[in-house]
Structure 1
Amino acid sequence: MPEWQTADSFSFGIISGKAAAEILADVLPDTVAIVREAYLAQAEGRAHNPRSHFLRFDDRPTDRIIALAADLGDESAVAGLKWISSWPENVAAGIPRASAVLILNRRDTGYPFAVLEASLISAVRTAASAVLAAESLISAVRPLSERARDLRIGFIGCGIIARNIYDMFRARRWKFREVAAYDTDDGSASAFLEHVEPGAATLLARTQHELIAGSDMVVFATTAARPHVFDLKAFEHNPLILHISLRDLSEQIILASNNIVDDVDHCLQADTSPHLAEKLTGGRAFITGTITDAMSGTVTIDPGRPTVFSPFGMGILDLAVGRFIYQEARRRNLVVDIDDFFHEKHRW
């Protein structure tokens, strides 16, 4: 039993979104290291991440709830499940698109010991994954002489995920010569640029093509259900593309690029852009490598092609960040304990 877990098998606590946000605000740049270790645990077989399960609705085709189970079998072993919903129409009503809870389970008894409000955990682990990929790939994509002049970054889709990714870059001390934004809702793009640090050069792009062609790094953080970017000419300068929303790029753009994924089997499902490319070609030869390959420097990136990072989003990341938050919440007395949650406690 890990030393941070109570000896009481029936202990159970809740960590609110407010508590999680308080902790994450203090440790934001450090979450990249937590995500990095989770990826390494997966690659080395110390973690297990079965395929996600999608609950869809015949009467609400744009909505879904996803179950992401995971197991981190390291020295601080824990298992768990993220249950996250995506309701894109919420945004028009002034409600965030995604809501989530994270359940943490003991590995000695199987009992759940905590539930965490996890919408911010999910957003932060996504941002940490994106920035980790950028830090791992940028040297292969842009020579040091070019990076020294600072980079132009563009965001397509300007909601909560985009803001968290930008905030993570800033927390990790990245500097950008220009920050551009494009969204089908001009108000969202303008609000995003207002979120950017005061004094930074910003651009409200008129079209996706304008943003892509003018950016060294492009972040896709949309709610697109199918590809909507088809113009290969916009990528002629071979940018680094953080394809966080997974379904924006056409098969032809994927096939013309270096492709880095978090996990091949996970990413090539559910009609992601790489999955569509696999369906088109009948194979996976277009996959260049994984994020752990990029981290170790063992992947070969062709600088004469765009480089696309497509992370399907793995439950091990939520579990790793959630475990850290639980440990820190315990230390700060931020866990709301429910002594009589399990009826078995009163039978044994």
Structure 2
Amino acid sequence: MLILGNEQVRSLLSDADDEVLAAVRAAYVEHERGRTALPHSVFLRFPEEQRNRIIALPAYLGGDDPVTGVKWISSFPGNVAAGQPRASGVIVLNSVHTGVPEALLNAAVISARRTAASAALAAATIRSVVPDTGIALVGCGVINGEVLRFVTRAMPLVDTVTLFDTDLARAEAFAADCAHRHPGLKVEVAADIATALGAHRLVSLATTAVTPHLDGGQLRPGTLVLHLSLRDLTAATVLASANIVDDVDHVCRASTSVHLAAEQAGHTRFVSASLGALLLADEPYRRDERGLTLFSPFGLGILDLAVSNLVRRRALARGVGTELADFT
């Protein structure tokens, strides 16, 4: 059993942004080709506090280097006010031949970066006729920090970021961190959410919202919304937009905005395509310049496996991690 802690994982991925993007892309393609096994995620919730949850994401990812395992990750939004991470978890990789657990990895960095890489891949794939040069980040937490990292990598024309968070001090601290990590990037803090939503035609929503609170009226025509938190936009907004998802069956669960829209409509025909299908398409996808396009990724366990396998390969090549010989 190879054991890798948080800082080891972070170090192993520090110079691997392009490889993470490639791994996430390959996972979507394998999924679209039917070379994955992806049971529904299991949500453990607590009667006393419905915002808190722990999720199990089992998966199998086929291809040239198949991998299987499970992510067990918690989300406790109240941790942030106490100065602790909102999300924490572990990933177990099993042998595809014997089922024996082979690796135990801290999930925090892997989970955040696979989510952000997914968003950046979508932004680079769901193109506008007018190239995006700015992005608005709503929610100044870990996820949007990683989104900025990968969007600027995948879309080098992006040179401006507008920030909004309900906690102004948090937004200002995030802005200072952005200026440090991304020298040359113009960073603005919006006074209100309406200003942020209207600043650019590329918007990333990464909040802790549990019920829809945005109707999309403050978004500019032609905007692509990376709807990572999945529960910000109203069902009516979803139904009035072009919709790209990672997996329609998975995203129509757990009271996501897409799930609520499907219940309201009685069907899922409002979903235009999956990201995997767009990646395999012969022609580039052009987003609706007069309306809104939403990318709503449920967050597939195959992405965690893809990035975890990359981390494991790098760890073995560099001799990083703790080997527990008597685990099995």
TM-score (norm 1): 0.89
The correspondence for 1:153, drawn from 120, 128, 135, is: 135
Residue 238 of structure 2 is aligned to residue 249 of structure 1: no
Residue 191 of structure 2 is aligned to residue 206 of structure 1: yes
Shift of 1:113: 0.6
The correspondence for 1:335, drawn from 313, 321, 325, is: 321
User: Structure 1 residues 153, 301: closer, same or farther in 2, change over 3 A?
Assistant: closer
Shift of 1:128: 0.6
Aligned to 1:285: 269
CA distance in 2, matches of 1:200, 1:108: 47
Aligned to 1:19: 8
Aligned to 1:29: 18
Shift of 1:300: 6.8
The correspondence for 1:70, drawn from 49, 53, 59, is: 59
The correspondence for 1:165, drawn from 136, 143, 147, is: 147
Residue 302 of structure 2 is aligned to residue 316 of structure 1: yes
The correspondence for 2:75, drawn from 72, 75, 86, is: 86
Shift of 1:236: 4.1
Q: Provide structure 1 residue ranges, at least 5 long, that are not aligned to the other structure.
A: 1-11, 343-348
Question: Which amino acid is 2:244 matched to?
Answer: I
Aligned to 1:122: 111
Residue 211 of structure 2 is aligned to residue 226 of structure 1: yes
User: Structure 1 residues 170, 236: closer, same or farther in 2, change over 3 A?
Assistant: closer
Question: In 2, are the aligned partners of 1:213 and 1:237 still within 8 Å (CA)?
Answer: no
The alignment of Structure 1 onto Structure 2 pairs a total of residues equal to 323
Partner SS state of residue 74, structure 1: coil
Greater Cα offset, 203-212 or 33-42 = 203-212
Aligned to 2:175: 193
Aligned to 2:94: 105
Greater Cα offset, 285-294 or 118-127 = 285-294
Percentage identity across paired residues of the two chains? 40
Per-residue CA deviations over 1:176-196 (Å, capped at 9, x if unaligned) read 342101111111211221122
Residue 53 of structure 2 is aligned to residue 60 of structure 1: no
CA distance in 2, matches of 1:178, 1:85: 32
Aligned to 1:136: 125
Per-residue CA deviations over 1:116-154 (Å, capped at 9, x if unaligned) read 01110000100110000011102xxx21xx32xx52210
CA distance in 2, matches of 1:271, 1:84: 19
Question: Which amino acid is 1:89 matched to?
Answer: G
CA distance in 2, matches of 1:41, 1:273: 26
CA distance in 2, matches of 1:195, 1:258: 34
Shift of 1:29: 2.3
CA distance in 1, matches of 2:65, 2:195: 47
CA distance in 2, matches of 1:208, 1:173: 24
Per-residue CA deviations over 1:260-311 (Å, capped at 9, x if unaligned) read 0000000111010011101111111211111012223466743321110000
Greater Cα offset, 195-204 or 152-161 = 195-204
Shift of 1:223: 0.7
TM-score (norm 2): 0.95
Question: In 1, are the aligned partners of 2:124 and 2:155 still within 8 Å (CA)?
Answer: no
Per-residue CA deviations over 1:329-348 (Å, capped at 9, x if unaligned) read 01100121111112xxxxxx
CA distance in 2, matches of 1:84, 1:63: 11
Aligned to 1:238: 222
Shift of 1:173: 5.3
Higher-Rg member (1/2): 1
Greater Cα offset, 174-183 or 111-120 = 174-183
Aligned to 2:160: 178
Q: Provide structure 2 residue ranges, at least 5 long, that are not aligned to the other structure.
A: none
Greater Cα offset, 90-99 or 191-200 = 191-200
